[in-house]
Copies of this chain bind each other. A is one copy, B any other.
Amino acid sequence: MNTSVTLLAGGVGGARLAHGFARALDALTCVVNVGDDTERHGLHVSPDLDTVMYTLAEMNDEERGWGLTGESYATLTQLERLGEDTWFTLGDKDLATHVVRTARLRSGEPLSAVTAGLAGALAVTARLLPVTDDPVRTRITTPSGELEFQEYFVRRQHADAVLDLAFDGIEDARPAPGVLDAVTGADLLVVAPSNPFLSVEPVLGVPGVREAVRSTAARRVAVSPIVGGRALKGPAAQVLESLGHDVSALGVARLYAGLVDVMVIDAADEALAEPVRDLGLEVLVTDTIMGGPDGRERLARELLALA
């Protein structure tokens, strides 16, 4: 199929939909959040980029949703013995990605070039772009104080209420080479069923990206990450709630109204189609729960039909 698709993505939800598109067409560009990038043991880790990359390479651990299949943890066990904090799980194979990324970043390559090299080595044919080569770091204000993103997400298992969010560095971040063109030049622009605040906002918030989404001639579609009032994965429901939004596909639609043309909601939320239409959005009601590769491809093809 010749339609070109650009997907704005966070981690798991974005990765699964990216996989569906990659099976359906050639011209896929994923613009990925880097707000949850972190440094562990001196290594630069890009969890969302890696989840999308590993999923596209069909090497990811489908059960956990992150990391690689068939992982071992010999290095992590030894890191612990050497006195390192090891609450952030890093597998032996996964570590190779971070070691190479770190070495290439330190040698002066931008993250986008490093990402292209890694994805190419893993035979990923979709284009994988960090939204920016500049550092953006998500910080979460909770009742227990301000937390670095992975501290909130992994160490404390996103159990804290999110009172506020900040994306350090985002005002000065420039879109990575290719990002704006990918948004303005696509036939179909898709906001993945990723966390609107933790994954999508730090993509849209990079200066120029939201404006490109507003001005693109592409058909613009967002998929709700909330189904039946719950998030399929991760803390999207809690974050919406604690920031004062409806925990529903309607609450998500309100966030994207004015930015996208079509809201995709799950069949379980059919009753919300009318109020979403009242926001001025078209609505596609379908099965949004992607199971395995076939389900991902089916959803991707339904979205392609909207273009």
Contacts and interface: CB of A to CB of B under 8 A. Distances in A.
A280 B92 CA distance: 55
A118 interface: yes
A99 interface: yes
Nearest to A123: B81
A103 interface: yes
Contact of A78 (B41, B78, B82, B96): B96
A75 B107 CA distance: 21
Nearest to A120: B83
Contact of A72 (B42, B79, B92, B121): B92
Given A81-B121, A82-B121, A117-B83, A75 B100 contact: no
B102 A75 contact: no
Given A41-B103, A106-B42, A96 B121 contact: no
Contacts of A122: 81-82
Given A83-B121, A99-B43, A78 B92 contact: yes
Interface string A115-137: 00110011000000000000000
A44 to B, nearest CB: 10
Contact of A82 (B41, B75, B96): B96
Contact of A100 (B72, B84, B96, B97): B84
A173 interface: no
Contacts of A102: 42
Contacts of A118: 82
A82 B95 contact: no
A213 to B, nearest CB: 33
Interface string A85-99: 000000111011101
Nearest to A106: B42
Nearest to A86: B96
A100 B80 CA distance: 10
A184 to B, nearest CB: 32
Contacts of A95: 75, 78, 95, 99
Given A92-B74, A95-B75, A42 B82 contact: no
Contacts of A43: 99, 103
Interface string A135-156: 0000000000000000000000
10 contacts: A41-B100, A42-B100, A43-B99, A43-B103, A75-B75, A75-B96, A78-B93, A82-B121, A83-B100, A83-B121
Given A41-B100, A42-B104, A78-B97, 10 more contacts: A41-B99, A72-B72, A72-B92, A75-B96, A75-B99, A81-B121, A81-B122, A82-B97, A95-B95, A95-B99
